[in-house]
Amino acid sequence: MFKQVYLARYFDVRLIKEKRRGRLKGTLYSSHNQEAILVGALFGLQSNDWISPIHRDMPAFFLKDLRKGWQREDRIGMSIEEVCAQVWGKVDSPGRARDNWSHIGSRSKHIIHSTSMLAGTIPVAAGLMYADRLNGGDAVCLTFNGEGSTAQGIFHEAINFAAVHRLPVVTIIENNQWAYGTPVDLGCPTPDVADRAKGYGIPGFIADGQDVFDVYDKVTAAVEHARSGKGPSIVECKTFRAYGHGDHDDDRANKYRPQEEIEAGRARDPIGVCRQTLLSLGYLTSADAETYHAEGKNATEATNEDFPPEVVEYLNAGIEFALQSPLPNAEEGAMWVFKEKN
């Protein structure tokens, strides 16, 4: 789990570096400081479970079912090569580079394809889980959302429907305090976004989004609740967005957000929190704990030496693959509007 947190962070750090080197185009939506949510939420899932990540969750695509083994062919999750091919807009992307950044998915990998309309995949997750139950399945679907998207009508409509039918849909809220340039108190009238659960008669868990183990515990409880037929739930993970909404917003985000708020929000780096827990429980010797130190460092400060070598090698392979993968043929732009003959 610790290594996965490192992997998620390294992915973020490395993509920022790649873009600065000019080897990567497009907007990056950093998950820096929110990695514990992705790792903690995904770690306990069964292989056949589904996920629905959004823009800030890019590592989720390869973290899914990673526990099974990083190189396992039978994982039900995307390979790092597929994810990098998508980031670089190459034909080997699972979506053949038809939509950008995190707008990919895969039926075979049990990942719902998102759009830019936030909370829009929750009804899809609900319908999918309805179908899964009819088919005799036992899957659970985790949908990831920001606190901002909980103001969308479809958020309410979908959770309402899921609650009526006790569908196994767990809605993760990554409450990073800022919906682009709007603070949470201008988007949600209650102190805890999880309070929205009360209206549906479902549990609203609150997790420390900096603590991978707390996220794991709360999401595991929510998943067990869902899998046992008791229905949906909301898990609010409290965290803080390290950078701007996207990297185009980094400079402004340092102005519209008070400096002391940024410092406080980034003070508890999920890597450091995880290390401390492992040390205190005796799962990590102090010698091992001293080896790598990525916490507290932003993309400019962190170097490859701050990360375990296997993490660096894993991503290197993905990036090399992406750089060599070709662009799709231009004609593909007009393909697959409709399914052709049965």
Partner 1 sequence: MSAVATPPATGKKNYVTAIKEALFEEMERNPDMICQGEDIGILGGAFGATEGLLAKYGSSRVIDMPISEACIVGSATGLALGGKTVMAEMQFIDFISCGFDQIVNMLATYHYRTAGEVNMPVVIRGPAGAYGGGALYHSQMNEAWFCNSPGLKVICPSTPYDAKGLLKGALRDGNPCIFFEIKELYRKREVEELLPEEDYVIPFGKAAVRREGNHITLVSYGQNVYHCLQAASELEKLGVNAEVIDIRTLVPLDEDTIFASIAKTSHLIVVNEAPMTCGFAGEIIARVAEKAFEYLDAAPMRITRLDTPVPWVKPLELFVLPSIEKIVQAALKSIKY
Q: From the CB of 90, what's the least distance to partner 1, in Å?
A: 13
Instruction: Tell me whether residue 125 or residue 188 sits nearer to partner 1 (CB atom).
Output: 125
State in angstroms the smallest separation of the CB of 170 from partner 1.
15
- Choice between 108 and 280, CB closer to partner 1: 108
DSSP label at 111? B
Minimum distance of partner 1 from residue 323's CB (angstroms): 21
* Distance separating alpha carbons of residues 230 and 212, to the nearest angstrom: 25
**Of the residues 19, 27, 47, 95, which one makes contact with partner 1 according to CB under 8 A:** 95
Phi, psi of 318 (to 5 degrees): -65, -45
Interacting residue with partner 1 among 77, 123, 148, 231 (CB under 8 A) = 123
Cα–Cα distance, 218 to 212 (Å, whole number): 10
Q: Which is nearer to partner 1, 41 or 111 (CB)?
A: 111
Residue 122 binds partner 1 (CB under 8 A): yes
Quick check: 26 binds partner 1 (CB under 8 A)? no
Report the alpha-carbon distance of residue 291 to residue 2 in Å, rounded: 13
Asked if 331 is part of the footprint of partner 1 (rule: CB under 8 A), the reply reads: no
Query: With binding defined as CB under 8 A, does residue 48 bind partner 1?
Result: no
Closest contact distance (angstroms) between CB of 263 and partner 1 is 38
82 scored as a contact of partner 1 (CB under 8 A): no
By beta-carbon proximity to partner 1, the closer residue of 69 and 199 is 199
Task: Please provide the DSSP assignment of 177-237 as one string.
Answer: SEETTEEGGGT-SSS-GGGGGGGGT--EEEEETT-HHHHHHHHHHHHHHHHTT---EEEEE
- Give CA–CA dist 288/175, Å, rounded: 32
Specify the residue, 120 or 203, whose C-beta has the smaller distance to partner 1: 120
Q: Is 183 left (phi over 0), alpha (psi -120 to 50) or beta?
A: beta
CA distance 303 to 54: 27
Positions that interact with partner 1 (CB under 8 A)? 94-96, 98-99, 103, 105-108, 112-113, 115-117, 120-132, 134-135, 153-154, 157-158, 160-161, 164, 332, 335-339, 342
